[in-house]
Amino acid sequence: LVSSGVTHVYGGHGGALVPLVNAVVDNPNLTWVCTRNEANASLMAAAHAKLTGNLACVMATSGPGATNLTTGLMDAALDRVAVIAVTGLKPRAGMHYSEFQDVDQSRLFAAGGINPSTDVPAPEALAPLLRDAISTAMTRRTCVHLAIPVDVQAAPSPIQSEFCAANANLRIAPTHVDPETLDAVAKHLPALRGAGGFRRIVIAAGLRAVGAGRAITRLAEMLHAPIIYRLDAKGVVDETHPLAFGVVGVHGKPGLEAAASIISTSELVLSLGVDDNTLLLCNLAGLQIRPMIEFEPDACAVVTRYKADFTVIGNIGDACDGLADRLATMLPQHGEPGEPGEPGEPG
């Protein structure tokens, strides 16, 4: 866990988890955060993954300890953040015929869409199963689950050294944004200009755009485009800025009406790290009716549900700055004919 970037382990204690909790507490690189209820622990882990972008970990004992994790694990899976849940199980010799906390936890979580969700059958299987679970969580940005019997936890560790590709996520993300793609996008955007300035372009920011607020605002000002954002990206830009129009979606009140109006009249969506673009692109029948240019930090984040005119891969802040730099050399300067309205006025 430590070699994969985990710094905090959230969870509740219990008899089927004692060896694991002891190992966490004894590790100087981990902070054990014990909660009164495992539901809180799972939500903390999901929030940790969202706020840091790193792998988060939650642990719970068998039976009700594990079942209490459900809401937080589903939140992590639906919001596509990397979380690994580790639950304890009763000793292998007592499983499936005695009633005390004999819950099939792996099937429970798998039924909710947590994949992989599996039991560890023996100490020798722990390393490869843990390796594969961590890999899946980090590359697919999802929640995974391992259930480890307490006697497996207490057995001598078969892991002698680091065994997983701990820095694989760094290799997934490109070191720079493809300049040819940015050139193509920059040439495409001025073609959307009309006699009154840009046609209606809207910039939508999601969780993976967090940290790129300055660059997003700069691009929005150049395009005179309103900025809306999903709930998980609230605060990505200064919400007092005249181009910031609030959260879109069911949690968007009181900005829902303005954000919804902007979407319904838009003619192009710049989607910056948004996980689900349905509200931005589709009609009430769920069919795409608006074109999109998507920006994602790496190819693993690209979802092919909707057609994109262009897909820009790389650091979203760098991509926005690169696009703004190119547009600055192509668009009329202040006061020249054909310039859209003053900054702060959506085109």
Residue 308, pLDDT > 70, answer yes
- Mean pLDDT, to the nearest integer, of 11-17? 90
Distance CA 174, CA 220 (A): 24
282 contacts 288 by C-beta, under 8 angstroms: yes
- Mean pLDDT, to the nearest integer, of 143-159? 89
pLDDT of residue 165: 56
Residue 297, pLDDT > 70, answer yes
Residue 259 confidence class, pLDDT cut points 50, 70, 90:
confident
Which of 140-144, 160-164, 177-181 bottoms out in mean pLDDT, i.e. has the lowest?
Answer: 160-164
Q: CA angle 133-169-49, nearest 5°? A: 70
Which of 28-32, 93-97, 265-269 bottoms out in mean pLDDT, i.e. has the lowest?
Answer: 93-97
Distance CA 253, CA 242 (A): 18
pLDDT of residue 13: 87
pLDDT of residue 92: 81
Omega cis (within 30) before 91: no
Torsion 327-329-334-339 (CA) sign: negative
Distance CA 236, CA 209 (A): 7
Residue 347 confidence class, pLDDT cut points 50, 70, 90:
very low
Residue 101 confidence class, pLDDT cut points 50, 70, 90:
confident
Residue 340, pLDDT > 50, answer no
Other residues' Cβ atoms within 10 Å of the Cβ of residue 321: 19
37 or 250, greater pLDDT: 37
Q: What percent of the chain has pLDDT over 90?
A: 56
Residue 143, pLDDT > 60, answer yes
Residue 84, pLDDT > 90, answer yes
Distances (CA, A) of 259 to 86, 205, 249, 280: 40, 12, 9, 10
pLDDT of residue 335: 44
- Mean pLDDT, to the nearest integer, of 18-28? 94
Instruction: Produce one character per residue of 1-25: b if its CB has 16 or more CB atoms within 10 Å, e if not.
Output: beebbbebbbbbbbebbebbbeebe
Other residues' Cβ atoms within 10 Å of the Cβ of residue 195: 5
pLDDT of residue 318: 96
pLDDT of residue 342: 44
Average pLDDT, the chain: 86
312 contacts 185 by C-beta, under 8 angstroms: yes
pTM: 0.76
Element (H, E) at 222: helix 213-223
pLDDT of residue 341: 43
